[in-house]
Each structure stands twice: as C-alpha cells, then as structure tokens.
Amino acid sequence: MIFITGATGRVGSAIIQALGPKVEVRGAYREPAILVGPTHWTAFAFEKPEGFEAALDGISAVFLMRPPQITKAAVFEPFLEELQARRIRRIVLLSVAGADRNPLLPHHGIEQLIQKPEFDWTILRPGDFMQNLETVHADAIRERHEIAVPAGSGRSAFIDVADIGAVGARVLTEMGHAGKAYHLTGPQALSFTEVTAILTEILGRPISYRRPSLWRFICDQRRAGAPLSLALVMTALYTIQRLGGAAEVTMDVEHLLGRKPTRFEAYAIRQRSSWLEADHVPS
C-alpha cells in the first residue's frame, strides 16, 4: 500500500489517478471533504504525530509533499523518524526546480532530511505548473484579462501536473529510482509574454502580461487572501524565473514515461473553459 500525502491536491490526486485501481492507496487529507474512489482515506497532519500510526499501518512507500502552510523542514522530522521506526524505506518527495541550490526555498531543508541511508529516496523537482494558470491566476485572466507576476522576461519550462502524476506513479511502483533526483519540465520554455499570446489566441480576447514590482506582487497576493509565507515562496519562484533559473528544458519526463511531455498549447486548449468569462461559460 502506498501512502499519498496531499492526496486531495493537484499532484496527489494526479498520482492516484495515474496509479489506477490496481494499486492500493491510502490518501491523506487535512480538511473534511467529499472523498470518493477506491482510495482509503485518513485524516492526517504532519504537526499531529498521534495520527501517524493509523496513516502508516501496512504502508510500503510514501509520497511526501510539503503543505503550503509549513515552511520549516523541522516539522517533518517526527514523521520521518516514524518511517524509520517502521522501516518504511521508499520515499518520493515532491520538491521544486532549483531547491537543491536555493536554501531560501522551504523544500531545500526537506530534501536534506530525506537523503539518508535509511531511505530509498527519490526527489521530483518539477518546473512551474501549467495548472497555476487555472487556480492562482484564473480570476485575473477571467476578470481583468491579465497575468500579473514579477517574472520579467524570464522563461519557464511549464509542466502539466498530469505528467508529474504519471512520473510519480512510475517511481513509486518501479525499482531503480532510489537515490535519484529528476528535474521535470515541459517540452518548451515560455515567457509570460508568450503564455499570454497563446491564451489570447485560444480564448479569442486579449490577455496581457503586467509586471508588478516584488513588493506590489506580495501586497496583491496578501490582499487576495494568500498567507504571507505562500506569497514569499511565490515571489522567490518568480524571481528565479526572472533571473533565468527556470528556463532549462530536460528530457527526464520523456525518459521516464517513454513519451514527450504535454505542450502548453495542448494544455490550454484542454482547459479553455477555466478562463471563460462568466457570460460565456456553457451551462
């Protein structure tokens, strides 16, 4: 049985879908939700060790991801100690591109914690999610016809979360991935000027790219309800893109899945309804 943390989130649910019904899964959730499918569900929080026993009973592998509200790697230490006590060796960690080189990112410390002889660890370092455009930026695209981020003219090798899920399912169930880190990207690196041009063509209305200052971006995110910790992490990631650190395109997804990763245009066509204005959404 595989334990999936963040199972109700984008990557966790994509992994569960990619694993399919033949693999037994226990999914973790933090907040009450409507939970369906063949997955076994358990309430779980890294800050509550009293829930570790129920979560880990019978588990042979763990997909580990950082909840957005947790910024200190030390919070994960009791959970990792429980894995060691139960001799659960296989861990697949969802990190971010560049976390190995940037100690300012909270993922950096978590990567260091799992790289121990006691674990058969694998690290996934994806680039920017294409799906951020239908979550974080959806309202701005629908209502203000813009994307406003401090990324300058930097490029990012955006990746479809479905491809991350397929990779996660593969490395959780196959041998040969222990001690490896994979940099997961899409097949092309795009600037937000290019992203908005593609959305303009697909949506049939102009979508512009506005470049706020770092301070203005943080203020905008706080005004929209984002926690300060999340706003700062987002600012760090867009700064990496602005400085050219997110533009690398790798072959890892193609090598792992035996196919090319999803192109941004294909994703945008598939998810077009996410950005339709209210009076254009099909009933």
> CATH number for the domain including 19?
3.40.50.720
Could you tell me which residue, 152 or 68, shows the higher pLDDT?
152
Written as one letter, the residue type at 206 is P
In a domain? residue 217 = no
pLDDT at position 279, please? 56
Q: pTM for this structure?
A: 0.91
In a domain? residue 15 = yes
| Domain count for the chain | 1
pLDDT for residue 187 is more than 70: yes
Three-state DSSP at 208 gives strand
257 is in which domain, residue-wise?
Answer: 2-126+160-184+248-261
In a domain? residue 275 = no
In a domain? residue 122 = yes
In a domain? residue 12 = yes
Tokens representing 42 are 């358990």
Q: What integer best gives the mean pLDDT of the chain?
A: 92
> Is residue 120 within a helix (H) or strand (E), and if so which, with residue range?
strand 120-126
Annotate 86-101 with DSSP letters as a single string: TT--EEEEE--TTTTT
CA distance 256 to 62: 19
In a domain? residue 115 = yes
Give pLDDT tens digits for 5-51: 999 999 999 999 999 989 999 999 887 665 666 679 999 999 999 99
Work out the pLDDT band at 101, boundaries 50, 70, 90: confident
In a domain? residue 135 = no
In a domain? residue 24 = yes
pLDDT at position 280, please? 57
Q: Which residues pair with 129 in a beta bridge?
A: 159
pLDDT for residue 248 is more than 50: yes
Give CA separation, 168 vs 124, 125, 219, 253, 276, in Å. 8, 11, 34, 10, 31
